[in-house]
Amino acid sequence: MTLPAPLAAVEVRGLVRSFGTVRAVDGLDLRVPPATVLALLGPNGAGKTTTVEVCEGFLRPDTGVVRVLGLDPIADSAALRPRVGVMPQGGGAYPGVRAAEMLSLVAVCAARPLDVGWLLDVLGLTGVARVPYKRLSGGQQQRLALACALVGRPEVVFLDEPTAGMDPQARRLVWDIVSRLRADGVSVLFTTHLMEEAEALADQVVIIDHGRVVAQGSPAELTSDGTQRQLRFGARAGLDLGALCTALPAGCQASEPRPGGYLVEGAIDPQVVATVTAWCAQQGVFAEDLRVSRRSLEDVFLELTGRELRP
Amino acid sequence: MTNFSPGTFAPAPGRGRLSRMLIAQARIEFVLTLRNGEQVLLTLLIPLGILIGFTLLNVVPVPSPRVDNITPRVLALAVMSTAFTGQAIALGFDRRYGVLKRLAATALPRWSLVAGRMLAVLGVVVVQLVVLGSVAAGLGWHPHPAGLAPAASLILAGTAAFGALGVLLGGALRAEVVLAVANMVWLLLVVAGGIVLSVHALPRPLSTIAAVLPSGALAEGLHTTLAQGVTPWGALGVLLAWAAGAGLLAARTLRLS
Ligand SMILES: Nc1ncnc2c1ncn2[C@@H]1O[C@H](COP(=O)(O)OP(=O)(O)OP(=O)(O)O)[C@@H](O)[C@H]1O
Ligand SMILES: [Mg+2]
């Protein structure tokens, strides 16, 4: 006897959603296994919010199948909503409502909510509990929205750019919360523009562009493209890289992406490192902060989605 | 790695009690209305000013006793201001701020998004009736006792009609457009819709139209019943028809954002 495969927390197959002539999502597949964290990355306008809103039941798919906890977000909305926590990209409170009032209202909608006072305290909102929403700072508004997503003790949480506009302390706190959510068995789908955040939190990263998946896998899988590595070092700005480029093996390139910051890309092996340091000796400079690293998630992202600014 | 103890966020989902959700939502929207300066101006201060000013100052000819003729019109104005203008504007901006999406993402059923708002509106109307009624009584208002119950039904039906129209407007257009249209319609109905001037005092084609507008029906209905104690079935019918028509349409056009 085989056990049935565990029901995915979120399952999206062949999702298409257009706005007029714009295909915001164009044949997207993704799957969030239970108690895991999926990070959805993509340039502005890639279709992240659209995807999340379809999963939340706010947008109807043109074609494709979306299941959350095995249920249809629109047809089974009443059964599904109490089990799902939602943090939208911006907004989500009456302009004049006080932070504590808003969270209490959302808490009343749940059968066994988290303690509102405790949650405000944890998110550093106790001091502004009586401040109207429109007078909260951007980061405070974000924290309140996160609190609203969590207060009902959901099984699945959708967070659309949860750390946008947050200071580093608040961001760490969110990371801490997401880690705890996963450990406690909650499935999380979040979007972000911070590669570091995706690497730190996600079991699975999905990079989308123009509404399509362009890469997916664990952060390690995405950045471990075989032999490709980077060597970085600092030295006096404006060194002539001609001799170095000739000395490097084929497939390795040297550049100075910012003044005084040098980058060698390609199949970096110990021999290449020796070549670089020998060249530095010839130039009479120290190679400061010399380090060899795998490609970062950001490199992968830029490679896949290009370097031009999105409209 | 985490500072939270295990099980802090262990799932325990479930729907809250419907009555508690509905009351909590209505209570917040009621409180927010009374906390908002512009809403208080629209729903209380302007009707109060008109009631007191038109009663005490002989600027426009009104049959005496002045207060008995002015109060029903001021009550109609108050209901319209709250249920239609104020509510449409609040709804437009709440949609802009993602409030409806926020609430729609909770266990609150969809119909209660509107039902909660209507309860809040009703609460504000009760506050208006108490305040305006007391001030009118202080000014010597003597409503016909037999007219009080029909007047209450008219006010309920008027709140429903204007509320449905408010949701229709505030639930469909951009917040700034809602603001402009709601204020314009308010002004039009006050002047030419049978509120300030009696339907019978309006010029010919306008008087026919105003009589079947919710403003004209509510003002004339209240005037008749509070003066004579009879039940104005026609006005009640007009208001209920508006409530049903606008309500059905609004249910189709309401957008969350
Ligand atoms: N309601 C809408 N009406 C018209 N076009 C829309 C609407 N919502 C989204 N779009 C378009 O769909 C595309 C995808 O938008 P979406 O908001 O999903 O992007 P995103 O990946 O979330 O971007 P960002 O990183 O800026 O939040 C964009 O081209 C956007 O202009
Ligand atoms: Mg977005």
pLDDT digits over A35-47, tens only? 999 999 999 999 9
Q: How much is the pLDDT for A2? A: 58
Q: What is the pLDDT of residues B30-69, one digit of tens each?
A: 999 999 999 999 999 999 999 999 999 887 788 888 999 9
Q: How much is the pLDDT for A293? A: 81
Would you tell me which CATH number, out of the four given (1.20.1250.30, 3.40.605.10, 3.40.50.300, 3.30.43.10), belongs to the domain A10-223? 3.40.50.300
**Looking at the predicted structure, is the pLDDT value of residue A311 above 80?**
no
Q: Which among A78, A96, A179 is the nearest to B36, CB-wise?
A: A96
Closest residue, chain A, to B25 (C-alpha): A105
SS3 content of chain B, % helix, strand, coil (to 5): 75, 0, 25
Query: Which part of chain A is CATH 3.40.50.300?
Result: 10-223
d(CA B40, CA B37): 5
Query: A184–B94: do the CB atoms touch at under 8 Å?
Result: no
**Looking at the predicted structure, is the pLDDT value of residue A6 above 80?**
no
Closest-CA residue to A67 (of A211, A205, A206, A189): A189
**What's the average model confidence in pLDDT over A135-152?**
96
Query: B97–A91: do the CB atoms touch at under 8 Å?
Result: yes
Q: Find chain A residues with C-beta within 8 A of B36's C-beta.
A: 96
d(CA A123, CA A106): 16
Counting other chains too, the contacts that A196-203 makes at CB distance below 8 Å and 24 or more residues apart are A197/A39, A197/A163, A197/A171, A198/A39, A198/A41, A198/A297, A199/A297, A200/A175, A201/A37, A201/A39, A201/A175, A202/A37, A202/A38, A202/A39, A203/A33, A203/A36, A203/A37, A203/A38
- Ligand 1 binding site (Cβ under 6 Å of any ligand atom): A 19, 22, 24, 42, 44-50, 89
Q: How much is the pLDDT for B257? A: 87
Q: How much is the pLDDT for B2? A: 54
Q: What is the pLDDT of residues B199-245, one digit of tens each?
A: 888 888 888 899 999 999 999 999 999 999 999 999 999 999 999 99
CATH class as words, domain A226-294: alpha beta
Query: Which part of chain A is CATH 3.30.70?
Result: 226-294
Q: Name the residue of A50, A52, A310 to mutate for ligand 1: max ligand atoms within 8 A of Cβ.
A: A50
Q: Is the peptide bond before B65 cis (omega within 30 degrees of 0)?
A: yes
| DSSP class per residue in B177-216 | HHHHHHHHHHHHHHHHSSSSS-GGGS-HHHHHHHHTSHHH
Query: B12–A90: do the CB atoms touch at under 8 Å?
Result: no
Judge whether B80 and B86 are in contact, CB under 8 Å.
no
Q: What is the pLDDT of residues A50-107, one digit of tens each?
A: 999 999 999 999 999 999 999 999 999 999 999 999 999 988 999 999 999 999 999 9
Q: How much is the pLDDT for A169? A: 92
Which of the four pLDDT bands, split at 50, 70 and 90, describes residue B1? very low
* Entry field: residues in chain A: 311
Whose tokens are 């959603």? That residue is A17
Q: Which among B9, B16, B110 is the nearest to A150, CB-wise?
A: B9
Summary mean pLDDT of chain B: 94
**Looking at the predicted structure, is the pLDDT value of residue A191 above 50?**
yes
**Looking at the predicted structure, is the pLDDT value of residue B16 above 70?**
yes
- Which residues lie closer than 8 Å to A96 by C-beta, 6 or more apart? A132, A133, A134, B32, B35, B36
Closest-CA residue to B79 (of B116, B133, B126): B126
Q: What is the pLDDT of residues B117-133, one digit of tens each?
A: 999 999 999 999 999 99
Closest residue, chain A, to B94 (C-alpha): A94
d(CA A276, CA B68): 98
Query: A108–B98: do the CB atoms touch at under 8 Å?
Result: no
- Which residues lie closer than 8 Å to A251 by C-beta, 6 or more apart? A266, A267
